[in-house]
Amino acid sequence: MLILGEGGFGSVYKGTIKPADGKGDLITVAIKKLNRESLQGHKQWVSEVQFLGIVEHPNLVKLIGYCAVDGERGIQRLLVYEFMPNKSLEDHLFNKAYPALAWDARLQILLGAAQGLAYLHEGLEVQVIYRDFKSSNVLLDENFRPKLSDFGLAREGPVAGRTHVSTAVVGTYGYAAPDYLETGHLTAKSDVWSFGVVLYEMLTGRRSLERNRPRTEQKLLEWVKQFPSNSKRFSMVMDPRLENQYSLDAAMKVAKLADSCLLKAAKDRPKMSQVVETLKQIVQAADEVFPSDSSGKSFENSRIDANNLDENSTESEPTDSWKRRMAHLVKIGEHVEGVSRRRLMIMQRAKVT
């Protein structure tokens, strides 16, 4: 199996499984294998089974199945997910080996990610706080549709009239809300702060923390303060890889939204459902004023199957920029696959021990 990544919890591999009915083509999946000696990894495994096993949303990665075996050779813990061929938002924003992500694609990806968070916060009987929202956890499917992944740090939200959950501080430096870092009080507004950070990453093409930059530019949120969203200097924050192919008005509105997500007082930050509505308005307005990317095609019309790339093909007339993007993904082995995936198991919370 091809290894996709490694971390403290263990490793993630690309593999294939048979469909539940045993018929049809093999299904490409991502398999997370737990490090047998990682106690924290086991806790995160249980958390992922608990949450992804009972939720389903277009913007959440699907948990197809899991494995839990205790034997003479020790414990074996596996999680099987749908495979996301286009890797993560982080890869497309910061890895120069990838073509620059078009402006309309960035907006659509952040809107989808916001819808995933809003569902966790407000669409379930029990509120779920994601606790680790960052660009590397926003995965992209064959159509560049965003899906939140890695629910190992997720927690149930406060219940019985409580305002927060008190917990040990975990997460990723540069994305965690300062009020959570200082007090250990976790709320849905902690996720909203993290979303605001990623909004600025999307605008600037810079990571939340970059040690290799001059000291005054290392912390993204400190650096962007020099260029307020309502100032003439604002355009200086924009990702140069966009080559000015974006709606300035929409970008300023996104920055204003990010600022509201990053308010110091958690109670003053918007709900994710409000963030979703604001982003929808921004996307709609941007489509009317700036309807296409640099090649004259919209993001929606630029989605293509990398397996069908052909210089003479006119079926969907994809843009040159998206042809290059998808051809590159094929070249490095991340072939787009349109296999219809279904869960092999539907788990109930009561079955998880």
H or E element: which one contains 275?
A: helix 272-289
Residues 158-168 as b/e (b if ≥16 CB within 10 A, e otherwise) read beeeeebbeee
282 in Cβ contact with 254 (< 8 Å): yes
Closest CA to 272 of 144, 171, 148: 148
Q: Name the amino acid, one letter, at 3.
A: I
- Which one is catalytic: 21, 70, 104, 132? 132
Query: What one-letter code names the amino acid at 263?
Result: L
CA distance 118 to 188: 9
CA dist., res. 134 & res. 231, Å (int): 27
| Binding positions | 33
CA-based nearest residue to 52, from 351, 268, 349, 350: 349
Structure tokens at 27: 């299904």
Beta carbons within 8 Å of 36's beta carbon, 6+ residues apart: 74, 75, 76, 77
Query: Which residue type does 88 have?
Result: S
Q: Where are the alpha helices (DSSP H) in 187-242?
A: 188-204, 220-224
Please state the residue numbers annotated as binding site for ATP: 33
Give 262's contacts (C-beta < 8 A, 6+ positions apart).
193, 196, 197, 221, 269
Q: Would strands 128-129 and 138-140 be described as parallel, antiparallel, or unpaired?
A: unpaired
For residue 106, the number of C-alpha atoms closer than 13 Å in the C-beta half-sphere is 32
Q: Integer distance in angstroms from the first to the last C-alpha of the chain?
A: 29
Tokens 């009020």 locate to 179
The question of whether 239 is a catalytic residue gets the answer no
What's the token pair of residue 217?
A: 């530019």
**Residue 214, Cβ density class (10 Å: 0-12 exposed, 13-18 middle, ≥19 buried):** exposed
Active site residues: 132
